[in-house]
Amino acid sequence: MTYKTLLFDVDDTILDFQDTENQALQKLFATQGLQLTDSLKQTYQTLNHGLWQAFEKGELTREQVTNERFGLFFESLGKEVDSLALEQQYRAFLNQGHKLLGNSAQVLAQLAPNFDTYVVTNGVSKTQFQRLNDAKLMDFFKAVFVSEDTGYQKPMKEFFDYVFDRIPGLKKHETVIIGDSLSSDILGGQLAGIDTVWLNPHKKNTNGITPTFEIESIDQLPELLQG
């Protein structure tokens, strides 16, 4: 097993999106006079997750997901809001979140000198670039590929084709994707014909999507790749 090119997901792989989302939702709900309870958060996350799954399947555009989600959420509470305005507020709060996930910075510092490392992420370009910059991780990557810029999203093969075309000398058998999502990172890697490393700290079921490798902590990655 000899890899040269590492493709890293961002959210809940190297940055703690759960913390970022929680802080942003707290601030946003406060603007509407609401406290972020566990129940409200669960309702929002279920709705939001379903919308992003539809995006991954190509059933919704990214703009439909982001611009309509808060309207749909507050509608379920019997409250009419300006969904686009709330999205813009939420985005500003979200951009501020850059908490590292575990020892991801140390792991990247260890791997970057020995591999060609890249970011492959679904989401909004401005948000992802700002968060990676604020977390001081940009220097570890040769390039950052965000679905908004590519016109496609993980797990679509077209997303990976776009990425592969822009990485000089890439060879699929020397390339591996590291991510927490079975439905976008691992399935996407399989569709693209590359190996996969599933970060699975909560020991979730594979749901029939079998990664090449599975780790519980990002700390295990260097030994896996360099061992």
The yes-or-no answer on residue 16 being catalytic is: no
d(CA 145, CA 129): 10
Beta-strand relationship, 175-179 and 195-199? parallel
Domains and CATH numbers, the chain: 5-16+99-226 (3.40.50.1000), 17-95 (1.10.150.240)
Full pLDDT tens readout for the chain, 227 residues: 689 999 999 999 999 999 999 999 999 999 999 999 999 999 999 999 999 989 888 899 989 999 999 999 999 999 999 999 999 999 999 999 999 999 999 999 999 999 999 999 998 899 999 999 999 999 999 999 999 999 999 999 999 999 999 999 999 999 999 999 999 999 999 999 999 999 999 999 888 899 999 999 999 999 999 86
Q: Which is the catalytic residue, given 9, 11, 116, 180?
A: 9
Positive/negative CA dihedral, 191, 195, 200, 206: positive
- Give the DSSP H/E element, type plus range, for residue 41: helix 38-56
pTM greater than the 0.75 cutoff: yes
Residue 127, CA atoms < 13 Å, CB-side half-sphere: 25
